[in-house]
Structure 1
């Protein structure tokens, strides 16, 4: 049990040391070639950035990454983009992952326990079987059918 608590503590410390962003802006836009070449390309590009909710739009996320040609055609490019501000709770995700790991660990320990216990149980249950002659078995079956 002490080992399990130690493993849990170490996993929490390791996960807390990493930085995750819980809020992001996710924009899906057409390929810049679709605007520059005026072709009807079906290719879409995904842009993700960590900006405040009021800057979650084409002008705040996508245009700073694009070249001058796209910035000049922003009125044509930006209406085709779909931007959504997303929030997620990494703490809940971390707790669920730790719970799943705990269940797997407990089942593994239980499996090892049963594997160690199996030889002890089977040693006590040694059954003695008598071999019967096929003729003797046939006679027993015939006698039961007659009755």
Structure 2
């Protein structure tokens, strides 16, 4: 069962590492060439991305090679309206952080499964060592000589005793309210 999830995870890591992402790029946002040619103040903006060195991250290095024919002769009017930014990011760190987050989530899921499997074992042992008392108000019998005096067993017995006592009280209250239509004092 876990082998299937591990294989899915590993194939996802291989696919992510197999992709080619650019760590350095130049991103320019400009108006559309039609807005410059028609002298309209439209809000239509276009995004141009190129992999160029930082000194070529400008209108001449990124935009004009792509739209030079469209705005021939009007470059001085078009280029000042463009905003170019050189971006540098480290995709390796991003991948490592994502893998760490996925591993933490997987560890938490495994821990939750461990606790779910462990819960019935603890409750079974606690109920096997517990002997029901006839007098619910007598708190001195919880740590009496018939039960183990180890600190762990004593605390566990107290907790399960209080839990069972509370469950019995709730059952009694429900019975009185729904069956007998009376309230407990």
TM-score by length of 2: 0.61
* Cα shift at 1:121: 2.2
Structure 2 match to 1:144: none
Report the alpha carbon displacement of residue 67 of structure 1 after superposing the two structures with TM: 5.1
State whether residues 28 and 47 of structure 2, in contact with CA within 8 Å, keep that contact through their aligned partners in structure 1.
yes
**What residue is the counterpart of 2:102 in the other structure?**
101
Deviating more after overlay: 48-57 vs 66-75? 66-75
Look up the SS of the partner of 2:104 in the other structure: helix
Q: Is the 8 A contact 2:25 2:86 kept in 1?
A: yes
1:112 is matched with: 113
Deviates more, 1:21-30 or 1:110-119: 110-119
- TM-superposed deviation, 1:72: 2.3
Report whether the alignment pairs 1:89 with 2:98.
Answer: no
CA RMSD of aligned residues (A): 3.2
Can you list the C-alpha shifts for 1:42-100, whole angstroms capped at 9, x where unaligned? 22111100011111111111111115231321111001001111100111111111110
How many aligned residue pairs are there? 136
Matches within 5 A, 1:6-45: 14-45=15-46
Tell me what 1:65 maps to: 66
- What is the rounded CA distance, in whole Å, between the counterparts of 1:38 and 1:26 in structure 2? 24
C-alpha distance in structure 2 between counterparts of 1:56 and 1:116, whole Å: 59
TM-score, structure 1 normalization = 0.75
Task: Compare relative contact order (CA 8 Å, sep 6+) and give the higher one, 1 or 2.
Answer: 1
In structure 1, stretches of 5+ residues that fail to align are 142-147
User: 8 Å contact 2:26–2:50 — kept in the other structure?
Assistant: yes
Unaligned runs of 5+ in 2: 128-163
Provide the residue aligned with 2:147 in structure 1.
Answer: none
What is aligned with 1:77?
Answer: 78
| Residues in 2 aligned to 1:100 and 1:111: alpha-carbon distance in whole angstroms | 17
